[in-house]
Amino acid sequence: MRILVAEDEVRLASLLEQSLTEAGWTVDLQHSGRAALDAALDQGGTHDVLLLDWMLPEMDGVSVCRRLRELGVRTPVLMLTARTTVVDRVSGLDAGADDYVVKPFDLDELLARLRALHRRAHTDDSDEGPLRVADLVLDARSRRTARGEVEIELSAREFAILQLLLQRAGQLVTRSQILDEVWDGETDLRSNVIDVHVASLRAKIDRPFGTDTITTLRGAGYRIDGGNG
C-alpha cells in the first residue's frame, strides 16, 4: 500500500512516516502543497491514499485536493485539519476530500480511517447496474453520478452514502447503518461527520437543480423516495 503524506510540521511528519511505515505502508513524504501536487501527478495515480494537511506552505491542502480532482485524479484523500467548524469541513469535502481527521488526533483512529479508505476504493462493486431515482443516476461500474446530462463529481464517501441510499430507495437508512457500511463503524455516532457529508452531498446533487432528493427523518436517519428504473 502506497501513501503520499503532505505535512510541513517536521516532528509530526516524522511521526507519521515512522508509524505508517511500521503499519506496512510505503510512504512518499512531502512538505509543501506544491510538492504534494507535483508528486501526486508525477506518480500517475500510483498512490493508494493521499494524506494532506490543510495548512501547507505554497499551496494549502484543500487547493491541492481541488486541483487533483479537476485533473481527474480520484485517489482517496484524507485531510488533517485543526479547523473544527462545519463550514470548514464542508469546504474540504466540496473540494473533493473523502474524509478528515481533526488535530490533535489519535494515531490508531487515523490508521483505521486510512485502511477504510483504501479498502473502500478497492472494493469491487462493478456487478451492480446503474441506480436511478428520477433523473439522478449513479453508475458503480464507472464511478460516475449524473443528474440528467450534468455529471456530478462526488468524493468517495459521498458516493458511498448516495449508493447506499439509492440501493434502499423508499426505505429508512439509519445513521448506524451508514456508519457500519460507509465508515465500517470507525467513527463516533455522536459526531456530526454524517451530517457534514450529507449536507455536502445535497449541495451537489440537489441544490444546483432545485430538487430535494434526500429526506431527513429526525432522530432516525435518511431516506430517498422512489426506485430504480
Summarize pLDDT for 149-170 with one digit per residue, the tens.
999 999 888 999 999 999 888 8
Question: Do 34 and 110 belong together in one domain?
Answer: yes
Q: How many domains does the chain have?
A: 2
pTM above 0.85, yes or no: no
Q: What is the b/e burial string over 69-100, where b = at least 16 CB atoms within 10 angstroms of the residue's CB?
A: beeebbbbbbbbbebeeeebbbbbbbbbbbbb
Is residue 209 situated within a structural domain? yes
CA dist 141 and 127 (Å) reads 7
Is residue 104 situated within a structural domain? yes
The enclosing domain of 164 has a CATH number of 1.10.10.10
CA dist 146 and 137 (Å) reads 5
Question: Do 170 and 106 belong together in one domain?
Answer: no
Strands 144-147 and 173-174, by their bridges, are unpaired
119 touches 105 (CB < 8 A): no
Question: Do 172 and 217 belong together in one domain?
Answer: yes
Query: Going along the chain, which residue ranges are E strands?
Result: 2-6, 26-30, 49-53, 77-81, 99-102, 131-133, 136-139, 144-147, 150-152, 173-174, 214-217, 221-224
Backbone φ and ψ for 135, nearest 5 degrees, come out as -100, 10
Count of alpha carbons within 13 angstroms of residue 144, beta-carbon side: 10
The enclosing domain of 103 has a CATH number of 3.40.50.2300
Helices (H) and strands (E) in the chain, counts: 8, 12
134 touches 146 (CB < 8 A): no
Cell numbers placing 171: 426505505
pLDDT of residue 58: 95
Domain finish residue from 71, 86, 121: 121
CA dist 228 and 2 (Å) reads 37
Question: Do 12 and 94 belong together in one domain?
Answer: yes
Is residue 229 situated within a structural domain? no
Question: Do 155 and 106 belong together in one domain?
Answer: no
pLDDT of residue 128: 61
Span 69-94, pLDDT tens digits: 988 888 899 999 887 777 777 788 88
Question: Do 168 and 73 belong together in one domain?
Answer: no
What CA–CA distances, in Å, run from 42 to 6, 60, 73?
15, 19, 11
Please give the average pLDDT of every successive group of 10 residues along the chain, which has 229 residues: 94 95 92 95 83 95 93 89 78 86 90 85 62 92 90 90 91 85 66 87 94 90 73
For the chain, how are helix, strand and coil distributed in percent, rounded to 5? Answer: 40, 20, 40
- List the domain range (segments joined by +) for residue 33: 2-121
Place of cell 456530478: 152
pLDDT of residue 192: 82
The DSSP-derived string for 125-140 is -TTSPPEEETTEEEET
